[in-house]
Structure 1
Amino acid sequence: MANQQAALLGAFAKFFPNATTIGSFVNGELVVDTGDSSIDIVNPATGQTVLAYRDAGAAVVAQAAEAAQAAQKTWWALTHAARGRVMQAVGAKIRENAEALAQLESIGAGKPIRDCRGEVAKVAEMFEYYAGWTDKFFGDVIPVPSTHLNYTRREAMGVVLQITPWNAPVFTCGWQLAPAIAMGNGVLLKPSELTPASSLVVAALAEQAGVPRGLINVLAGYGHTTGQAAISHPVVKKVVFVGSPATGSKIATAAAQRLLPSVLELGGKSANIVFDDADLKRACLGAQAAIFSSAGQSCVAGSRLLVQRGVYDQMIDMLARGAEKIRVGEPMDDTTEVGPICNRTQYQHVMNMIDAGVEGGARLAAGSQQRSDGGFFVRPTVLADANNAMGVARTEIFGPVVVAIPFDTEEEALAIANDSEFGLAGAVWTQDVARAHRVASQVNAGTFWINGYKTINVASPFGGYGHSGYGRSSGVEALYEYTQTKSVWVETAANPATPFGYVEA
């Protein structure tokens, strides 16, 4: 345990010198030893507690809200171009510290270092992309049928609350922060209590790059205490949540009680459809990446693999043999392709779902039902010969487990794909161009790939249908989420008509 603690604190102390634990980042300072509850950080590769820190609590939330409100006024007063230059500097600062930040993310979240390096690079790209939008996102002049000049302004919401998950802490931190501050908002960011470290660092680096002190505040704590206090605070004008549908529903309800708008990016049970004319080798590699990368802890994971019956056996055999060769191991090992599940609760859920799938009639074509003695490792798992009525085909497993279902016709594939309460993503593999576009247009999903999977870029809008949430978290559409429209009317006539009222001559 001592070595693990030293590794985490050593990585953290590169950004917060002399830090002895983790806390909240409020008004430019690391705040520790605040709330009543203690929170454990567990190393998912060993299952051992590394260190404990204090829940932020309502008092810290109040301090952060006050700081964000004051800093937002300063930030909003800058010219759009000036905000863009600062955001470019944030991207540069993240690139300058990329390796250290990637190592912290790997140690703190249990993600393979190779994945963390890629995600940190994407965070830098997010700030750079939205930096370019700061002076290019503007209102309109409306040709109203009167003597008025009518124009619209896109104005900041004020202070927004962003709640991010444990599966991709640094990525979702940048995913939300960049568009929010690009449009002039202040932010209270509450990462998962299990993985707060990298978000704290991103906020600190942003201030070093020139973001006003207190504009970005990171609240380290539980959702039911710190998160609830933040939702309830009168300074907060919008809530953005990334996580499970169950928690998202609670957060949306709490926000609605204050008449706050919200954006929800929730779970998925995405259908990855393979037709018999597909390039099976490419489709197999794509299917592996869709579900086994990030240990399956991805909301867009291709967790339902629908394969046309004529090539079903060949595809499943190829997929299962490939799954056995994927390297599962320590997160900081450069050769590791799949690391552990992030936390014990999720690990137990994944293993229970594998058991339930086998008991329900699915065939374990690859993987294991044997539980790990140490860390929370799960072998890439293929549950073959399933049907869409099984619990494993309907429930989000959020682990490296794919459920394979055969189909006969295009119509049947579409019916199976859309027989889900979720609608986050999907894909089709075929060499028939017309069918590819046909299927893309008929699957209920916010993101859809043709002959590929899991390509995501900050420039493209991202969000779900149905129980996968609402609102969009990237692309130009995210900027609308972080602004509100004001309509301004200016009378231009020299002697406008007076439709009502009296004055003395």
Structure 2
Amino acid sequence: MQANQTENLLTAFAHYFPNSKEMGSFVDGELVAGKGEQIQLFDPATGEKSMSYADGGAAIVALASEVAQRAQKEWWALTHAARGRVMFAIAREIRAEIEPLARLESIAAGKPIRDCRGEVAKVAEMFEYYGGWADKFYGEVIPVPTSHLNYTRREPMGTVLQITPWNAPMNTCGWQIAPAIAMGNAVLLKPSELTPFTSLVVGLLIERAGAPKGLVSVLSGYGHTVAQAAIADKAVKKVVFVGSPATGVRIAEAAAKRTLPCVLELGGKSANIVFEDADLRLAALGAQAAIFAAAGQSCVAGSRLLVHRPIHDKFVKMVSDGARKIKVGAPLDDATEVGPINNKTQYEHVVKMIQNGVDAGATLSAGTLERSKAGYFVSPTVLSNVTNDMDVARTEIFGPVVAAIPFDTEEEAIAIANDSEFGLAGAVWTQNVARAHRVAAQVNAGTFWINGYKSINVASPFGGYGRSGYGRSSGVEALYEYTQTKSVWVETAMNPVTPFGYVDN
């Protein structure tokens, strides 16, 4: 990374931690430097080294676990309404920092600044939404057929571990923390070691808003050190993971050894289905947004474009022509629409997958096989003449690459859409109302759009089918994920029946 870019990252981060000499983990109100091996970071826009910091390791987990247990008791002792007021205060703190937080996210993650501004605002909305739920989520009275009063309590899990990815660190940070603390839990958040910066700031802002110190700790470091130690920690009662299916399987296995429940939000290979009666202009714009926004680094990206054969060639040309006009550039440039791939490993995977597609017989209708001269940039890419058995149609690419697949009938479109191990999202474009609802009902996906794509809001449940994971991480359903039900029985009879035992009068 050029010197001024390094200074931008350090300056943006130091705005929140001016007295800290080293990057580290946020625990008990302080930034604590790790003592493990150095983690080297690279600038996605140049491919050059930026900065490094020490892995937190198991020691930081032990410290965070201790303070989390203390803070959780203090937090749960508050009234529900008091917790809700703190949640709204957190949202205000975040809204006051939209521009500096967006800049920090853009520099660290390589995301276009205009996207980052919107994501920071959405994180504030998450805390507002769940702040409103804090005193409205409660148990029930059960009309049991005895003389008992039977009621349920919704109680927090205690301390939960949340592991978030590098593609949307700010967004997934708020997405997970807000419902967890709204229900009275403490959180150990382990962001990707590549992009911990904005998550650390959110931890700071949560305490600045009035939450107890240690309620949310942000642990910087590797998965095989920090996350592994956290899963094994006795205080952790639930694990939430957002990331790749392969890593999700390993995390679920480790959690199962302690019989810990999990929420897994994993990958996707979502089918975006376009029928010949669709508004092709809107569908073409939607198809581009579905895959090229965020450089395709989105779990719900519409990476398989299923097109009705009568309009296939015309529609693929529309999407390809549009792809070539999308501005790819520096993350901090307000005009940039697509930034770089976040890291070299992912960049190499995306480039390899494009080449594999061409080698397998796909046509490169937009994009290039040339490698980026600087940084990890990949042009918006359209592969046509793809069949659903090709690797580019079955493997998650996680880049700005869409595979166009023709179909002849509604039944075939549904069959192709469901011929995948993933089931995170999908969409259909048609003006036939009955067909739209038929397709929505039959495609195996946790989220499905009709004549649109990527409409996501914290109020709506989100999660996957199949290898895309299980559990839901937003909407009211997330509150169930972060609570456990206790059934309480109270004998109310004046002379209750005692069916067993002996007592001398």
TM range (shorter): over 0.9
2:178, 2:36 → 1: CA distance? Answer: 32
Q: Which residue of 1 aligns with 2:151?
A: 151
Q: Which residue of 2 aligns with 1:333?
A: 333
1:140, 1:307 → 2: CA distance? Answer: 49
Q: Which residue of 1 aligns with 2:350?
A: 350
Letter of the structure 2 residue corresponding to residue 310 of structure 1: P
Q: Deviations over 1:429-453 (max 9, x none)?
A: 0000000000000000000000000
Q: Decide whether aligned partners of structure 1 residues 8 and 21 sit closer, same or farther in structure 2, where only a CA change above 3 A counts.
A: farther
2:356, 2:67 → 1: CA distance? Answer: 49
Q: Which residue of 2 aligns with 1:40?
A: 40
Q: Secondary structure at the match of 1:25?
A: strand
Q: Which residue of 2 aligns with 1:22?
A: 23
Q: Secondary structure at the match of 1:448?
A: strand
| C-alpha contact (below 8 Å) 1:104/1:198 kept by paired residues | yes
1:385, 1:170 → 2: CA distance? Answer: 37
Q: Which residue of 1 aligns with 2:124?
A: 124
1:384, 1:35 → 2: CA distance? Answer: 50
| C-alpha contact (below 8 Å) 1:159/1:235 kept by paired residues | yes
Q: Which residue of 2 aligns with 1:422?
A: 422
TM superposition shift of 1:35: 2.5
Q: Secondary structure at the match of 2:41?
A: strand
2:193, 2:229 → 1: CA distance? Answer: 15
Letter of the structure 1 residue corresponding to residue 467 of structure 2: H
Q: Percent identity?
A: 73
2:209, 2:261 → 1: CA distance? Answer: 30
TM superposition shift of 1:400: 0.1
The answer to whether the aligner puts 1:492 opposite 2:492 as a matched pair is: yes
2:398, 2:59 → 1: CA distance? Answer: 34
| C-alpha contact (below 8 Å) 1:105/1:198 kept by paired residues | yes
The answer to whether the aligner puts 1:281 opposite 2:267 as a matched pair is: no
Letter of the structure 1 residue corresponding to residue 111 of structure 2: K
| C-alpha contact (below 8 Å) 1:158/1:184 kept by paired residues | yes
1:48, 1:215 → 2: CA distance? Answer: 36
TM superposition shift of 1:40: 1.1
TM superposition shift of 1:4: 1.8
Q: Which residue of 1 aligns with 2:322?
A: 322
Q: Which residue of 2 aligns with 1:5?
A: 6
TM superposition shift of 1:18: 3.7
Alignment of 1:89-168 (within 5 A): 89-168=89-168
TM superposition shift of 1:20: 3.8
TM superposition shift of 1:41: 1.5
TM superposition shift of 1:113: 0.2
2:180, 2:85 → 1: CA distance? Answer: 15
Letter of the structure 2 residue corresponding to residue 157 of structure 1: M
Q: Which residue of 2 aligns with 1:215?
A: 215
Q: Which residue of 2 aligns with 1:445?
A: 445
2:499, 2:290 → 1: CA distance? Answer: 64
TM superposition shift of 1:373: 1.8
TM superposition shift of 1:78: 0.1
Q: Which residue of 2 aligns with 1:483?
A: 483
The answer to whether the aligner puts 1:458 opposite 2:440 as a matched pair is: no
Q: Which residue of 2 aligns with 1:309?
A: 309
Q: Give runs of ≥4 in structure 1 deviating > 4 Å.
A: none
The answer to whether the aligner puts 1:59 opposite 2:59 as a matched pair is: yes
Gaps in structure 2 of 5+ consecutive residues: none
| C-alpha contact (below 8 Å) 1:9/1:19 kept by paired residues | no
2:229, 2:254 → 1: CA distance? Answer: 11
Q: Deviations over 1:105-131 (max 9, x none)?
A: 000100000000000000000000000
| Count of equivalent residues | 504
TM-score, length of structure 2 as denominator length: 0.99
Letter of the structure 2 residue corresponding to residue 30 of structure 1: L
1:214, 1:243 → 2: CA distance? Answer: 25
| C-alpha contact (below 8 Å) 1:12/1:19 kept by paired residues | no
| C-alpha contact (below 8 Å) 1:57/1:225 kept by paired residues | yes
**Root mean square deviation, CA, Å:** 0.6
Letter of the structure 1 residue corresponding to residue 8 of structure 2: A
Q: Secondary structure at the match of 2:18?
A: coil
| C-alpha contact (below 8 Å) 1:21/1:52 kept by paired residues | no
| C-alpha contact (below 8 Å) 1:80/1:134 kept by paired residues | yes
2:383, 2:20 → 1: CA distance? Answer: 45
2:8, 2:266 → 1: CA distance? Answer: 32
Letter of the structure 2 residue corresponding to residue 69 of structure 1: Q
1:18, 1:69 → 2: CA distance? Answer: 27
The answer to whether the aligner puts 1:435 opposite 2:418 as a matched pair is: no
TM superposition shift of 1:336: 0.1
| C-alpha contact (below 8 Å) 1:21/1:51 kept by paired residues | no
2:19, 2:384 → 1: CA distance? Answer: 52
| C-alpha contact (below 8 Å) 1:157/1:238 kept by paired residues | yes
Q: Secondary structure at the match of 2:476?
A: helix
1:371, 1:394 → 2: CA distance? Answer: 23
Letter of the structure 2 residue corresponding to residue 281 of structure 1: R
Alignment of 1:190-209 (within 5 A): 190-209=190-209
1:36, 1:198 → 2: CA distance? Answer: 21
2:385, 2:315 → 1: CA distance? Answer: 12
1:46, 1:172 → 2: CA distance? Answer: 25
